[in-house]
Amino acid sequence: MKVAYVTTDHPAAGQDDEREIVLAAWLGAGIEGSPVSWHDPRVDWSDFDAAVVRSAWDYIERRDEFVAWAHRVESVTRLFNPASVIEWNTDKTYLRTLGVPTVPTHWAESGTDLPEWDEYVVKPAVSAGARDTIRTRDRDAAAGHAAALLAAGRTVMVQPYIPSVEQEGELSLLYFGGQFSHAVRRHPMLTGVAETAENRATLRDPDDDQFALAERVLAAVPENLLYARVDLVRMPDGEPVLIELELTEPYLFLRDELAAPDLFAETLAEMLKG
Q: What is the DSSP string of 159-217?
A: EE--THHHHT-EEEEEEETTEEEEEEEEPPSSSSPPP-TTTSEEE-PPPHHHHHHHHHH
| pLDDT at site 206 | 96
CA distance 107 to 167: 27
The pLDDT confidence band at residue 188, using thresholds 50, 70 and 90, is low
Residue 194 has pLDDT above 60, yes or no: no
Mean pLDDT, the chain, rounded, equals 92
Check pLDDT > 70 for residue 144.
Answer: yes
Cα distance between residue 250 and residue 3, in whole Å: 18
Do residues 212 and 173 make contact, with C-beta atoms less than 8 angstroms apart? no
Segment 11-36 shows an average pLDDT of 96
What pLDDT digit, counting tens, does each position of 68-113 carry?
A: 999 999 999 999 999 999 999 999 999 999 999 999 999 999 888 9
The strand pairing partners of 171, in sequence order, are 185, 232
pLDDT at 195 over 80: no
pLDDT at 42 over 60: yes
Q: Check if the beta carbon of residue 244 is closer than 8 Å to that of residue 92.
A: yes
DSSP strand pairing (106-107 vs 78-80):
unpaired
Q: How far apart are CA 103 and CA 95, in angstroms?
A: 9
pLDDT, residue 189, reads 55
Residue type, 111: G
Which helix H or strand E contains 268, and what residues bound it?
helix 260-273
Cis bond upstream, residue 81 (ω within 30) = yes
- Paired with 244 in beta bridges are 231
As annotated, the active-site residues are 200, 229, 246
pTM as predicted: 0.91
Q: 135: Cβ–Cβ under 8 A, 6 or more apart, which residues?
A: 119, 120, 121, 161, 190
Residues constituting the chain: 274
